[in-house]
Amino acid sequence: MQTFNTYERTKLQHHFRKCAETFEADHPNHQHTASLRNCSTESGLTGTNKVLHDYYLYAMGEGVVRHPQGSAAQLLTRVIRHVREVSGDRNVLLSQAADYARRHNITVPAHEQMSTDLVVADRPPRALINAAKASFHNRHGRNA
């Protein structure tokens, strides 16, 4: 288990606090979202970090006890669940997810598709956010 000395811990707390205080103001149009609908496969990265990594879908589902259901289960969630529970195919990569979905007729029913209004559709319940904050504060204190 890694431990931090007091100086490192204080410095980490300082950076976290500064980020929390300024991020929203510095990024007024940022929408917190887990939807990949508008993401480009072009990373725009250059140099040694320009190579993107691909992940196995089977591994992405490792350790998931309760898969999202209903409108919380969009296409990628359904594909990962199919790979783990139906086909067992350990060789399907994230970059192949759309082809896999077509091949196995995996779709998201219209009534469960995420709305394009991500501010509403992809916002976690307030109680969940409050529980996460309380847990963080219990572990690290209110000034962390």
In a domain, 23, yes or no: yes
List average pLDDT for each run of 10 residues in the chain, which is 144 residues long: 53 72 72 56 63 84 88 90 95 92 93 74 76 87 72
What are the tens digits of pLDDT across the range 40-54? Answer: 656 666 666 666 678
Largest CA distance in the chain: 55
3 state DSSP class of 124: coil
What stretches of the chain adopt beta strand conformation (E)?
Answer: none
Give residue 39's pLDDT: 56
85 plus 103 within the same structural domain: yes
Domain of residue 97: give its range: 49-114
On whether both 83 and 129 belong to a single domain, the answer is no
pLDDT at 17: 75
In a domain, 38, yes or no: no
Q: Does 12 map to a domain?
A: yes
Same domain, yes or no: 84 and 61: yes
The pTM assigned to this predicted structure is: 0.53
Do 76 and 105 have their domain in common? yes
Q: Same domain, yes or no, for 15 and 56?
A: no
Same domain, 94 and 127: no
Both 53 and 110 in a single domain? yes
**Are both 56 and 84 inside the same structural domain?**
yes
pLDDT at position 120 is 64
Does residue 55 lie in a domain region? yes
Domain count, the chain: 2
Measured from the Cβ of residue 78, the count of other Cβ atoms closer than 10 Å reads 20
- Residue 99: inside a domain: yes
**Considering only CA atoms, which of 58, 32, 20, 40 is closest in space to residue 121?**
32
pLDDT at 121: 63
Structural domain includes residue 76: yes
